[in-house]
Chains A and B, each alone.
Chain A
Amino acid sequence: MTHKPSRFEACSLDIAVADRKLLSGVDLALRAGDRVALVGPSGAGKTTLLRVLACLADATAGELRLDGQQPAEVGYPRWRRQVTYVTQRPMLLPGSVEDNLRRPFAYATATGPYPEALAVDWLARLGLVGVLERPARELSEGEQQRVALIRALLVKPRVLLLDEPTSALDSQATAFVEAVLVDCAESGAAILMVTHAAQQVARLCTRTIDIREYTGE
């Protein structure tokens, strides 16, 4: 997997939910290879921040740039293809695991064919052997979480926004995921992940952002 070196910036973001100001003055920059933890108490706005960075929700002020380009210049679907958000609760479509993994390659923003060999390799690395044909929604939550992660990784995003990607995993599966994330970062992806596990931050992340810097607490 190769990524173009990238620089992702969020400048002076103000974020409100239902007219209630949640975060203000969010400044963050991610470079290729960064593995950044986003920490802070529940309800402080971590998930909302990830959604804004992925342009699934709007900030009330501020701007986003990827290599100097704003989302409107890139095009919003194409932006999300490069700045990809993975929810904490895995959202899998009806159909098999393979149907789910192939789905993003049916979109107009797809730039290449479905990388079948890579998908099989990652499934194996994450401890998911022989699941390709299985109905995705019949997998355990931990298995679904890994499938959802692989589906996002196959898109080869330049910035990966992960919301507690190992929350449903045991320690062995967590180690598998962390190893794959390190590989992705070394290939040039920037990772921003919400986590509540201090040990995971110490093991995996090169930097930490505390959301309370922007909540006024």
Chain B
Amino acid sequence: MNETISLTAGDLALAATLVLVAGAVSAVLRLGLERRLLVAAIRTVVQLLLVGYVLAWVFALDRGWIVGLVFLFMAVAAGRAAVQRASHSYRGATWNAVVTLALTGLLTTVAVTAVVVGVQPWWRPQYSIPLLGMIFGNGLTGISLCLDGFLGSLADGRGQIEMELALGATRWEAVRAPLADAVRKGMIPILNSMTVVGIVSLPGMMTGQILAGEDPLDAVKYQIVVMFMLAAATSMGSIGIALLAYRRVFNGRHQLVGERIYEQK
């Protein structure tokens, strides 16, 4: 089962003709997407090749501190992307998102590599970096949806929250319902994925393993671990960012400091 067919540069060039189909559709329907499609295709090739070389280098060196640097770089990039996607933000939101992603990424990766899979050492780059990539990718979607929902509901529903405060609610009592809604919103994509996985979609990692010649049952076992890991990471990430945002937009006098929330373009 372990026959891997290596792809040549010619194979990749052949695959590139598939993009021409999309280009043709755009041209025929005058969608005006040809240029963007070309740029996107070039970016895909350049970014993935670069990452391939970097990963090969990191795997070859096999050093903990280099994995640490890659981890930090990924967490910062994911944190920034998560906040930029939300419609509202507050000062310090990016920092909060980075901390949340870094903590959830670290916790879940250690749990999977050290405890479930039993990798020695737990940070071995072949395992930790792909897992972190998946955690950050899903985590940033969860965080941005959660942040979007939470800050949006505080900005639009300020009157209602202040009404509860005015009647003697603590800040937590006043915010619990919109916060829970936002966490729910952040978790919907991973819950949807878990519901249809294997029926409607075959996840990328599992497909990759099968294409690389792995036994499908082994690939499935890994995928189950990954789905559970992503569920844990997304829920922790959503709750984490919601709590940090909550601490930021309410002060110790149980006031909603609405001015701290601003709309993003």
Contacts and interface: CB of A to CB of B under 8 A. Distances in A.
A198 interface: no
Nearest to A108: B170
B106 to A, nearest CB: 35
Contact of B168 (A18, A81, A89): A81
A78 interface: yes
A152 B173 CA distance: 17
B165 interface: yes
Contact of B163 (A55, A77, A87, A109): A87
A202 interface: no
B34 interface: no
Interface residues of A, number: 31
A77 B254 contact: yes
A85 B159 CA distance: 12
Most chain B CB atoms below 10 A, which of A77, A78, A87, A108: A77
Interface residues of B, number: 16
B164 A103 contact: yes
Interface in A58-94: 58, 71-72, 76-78, 80-81, 84-87, 89, 91, 93
Nearest to B164: A103
Contact of A54 (B159, B166, B173): B166
A155 interface: yes
Contact of A152 (B160, B162, B167): B167
Nearest to A51: B162
Contacts of B253: 55, 58, 71-72, 76
Interface string B157-182: 00110111111111001000000000
Interface in B213-265: 253-255, 259
A46 interface: no
Given A56-B165, A77-B165, A107-B169, A91 B254 contact: no
A56 B162 contact: yes
Given A58-B255, A108-B173, A87 B167 contact: no
A89 B187 CA distance: 34
Most chain B CB atoms below 10 A, which of A80, A106, A152, A155: A80
Given A56-B255, A57-B255, A89 B165 contact: no
A110 B168 contact: yes
30 contacts: A54-B166, A55-B255, A56-B162, A58-B253, A58-B255, A71-B253, A72-B253, A76-B253, A76-B255, A77-B165, A77-B170, A80-B165, A80-B166, A80-B168, A80-B254, A81-B167, A81-B168, A84-B166, A86-B166, A89-B159, A91-B159, A91-B162, A91-B163, A103-B164, A104-B168, A107-B168, A107-B173, A109-B168, A109-B169, A155-B168
Interface of A: 18, 54-58, 71-72, 76-78, 80-81, 84-87, 89, 91, 93, 103-104, 106-110, 148, 151-152, 155
Given A80-B168, A85-B166, A104-B167, 6 more contacts: A56-B166, A77-B165, A84-B168, A103-B164, A104-B168, A109-B168
Interface of B: 159-160, 162-170, 173, 253-255, 259
